[in-house]
Amino acid sequence: MAEAALIDGKVHAEHLREQVRLEVAKLVAEHGLQPGLAVVLVGDDPASQIYVRSKGEHSLAVGMHSVTHRLPADVSQEALESLIGELNADPLIHGILVQLPLPAPLDEKSVLAKINPDKDVDGLHVINAGRLASGLAALTPCTPLGCMILLRETLGDLTGLRAVVVGRSVLVGRPVAQLLLQADCTVTIAHSRTKDLAAVCREADILVAAVGRPRMIKASWIKPGATVIDVGINRVPFDDPEKAAAGKTKVVGDVDFKAAKAVAGAITPVPGGVGLMTVAVLLQNTVTAAKRLNGLPD
From 99, 119, 120, 261, active-site residue: 99
On the CB side of 162, how many CA atoms lie within 13 Å of its CA?
Answer: 11
Residues 181/162, Cβ–Cβ less than 8 Å: no
Q: Are strands 162-166 and 186-190 parallel, antiparallel or unpaired?
A: parallel
Nearest to 4 by CA among 266, 269, 271: 266
Peptide bond into 297 cis (omega under 30): no
Determine the Cα–Cα distance for residues 295 and 39; give it in Å rounded to an integer: 24
Q: Which residues contact 57 (CB under 8 A, 6 or more apart)?
A: none
**Rounded (5°) CA angle 222-204-177:** 125
Q: What SS3 state is found at 78?
A: helix
Q: What SS3 state is found at 40?
A: strand
Active site residue 55: yes
From 114, 119, 120, 122, active-site residue: 122
DSSP 8-state secondary structure symbol assigned to residue 103: P
Active site residue 122: yes
Q: Which helix (H) or strand (E) holds 284?
A: helix 275-293
Type of residue found at 289: A
Residues 267/222, Cβ–Cβ less than 8 Å: no
Determine the Cα–Cα distance for residues 121 and 32; give it in Å rounded to an integer: 21
Asked whether the CA dihedral 289, 295, 296, 298 is positive or negative, the reply is positive
Maximum distance among all alpha carbons in the chain? 59
> Which residues does the annotation mark as catalytic?
55, 99, 122
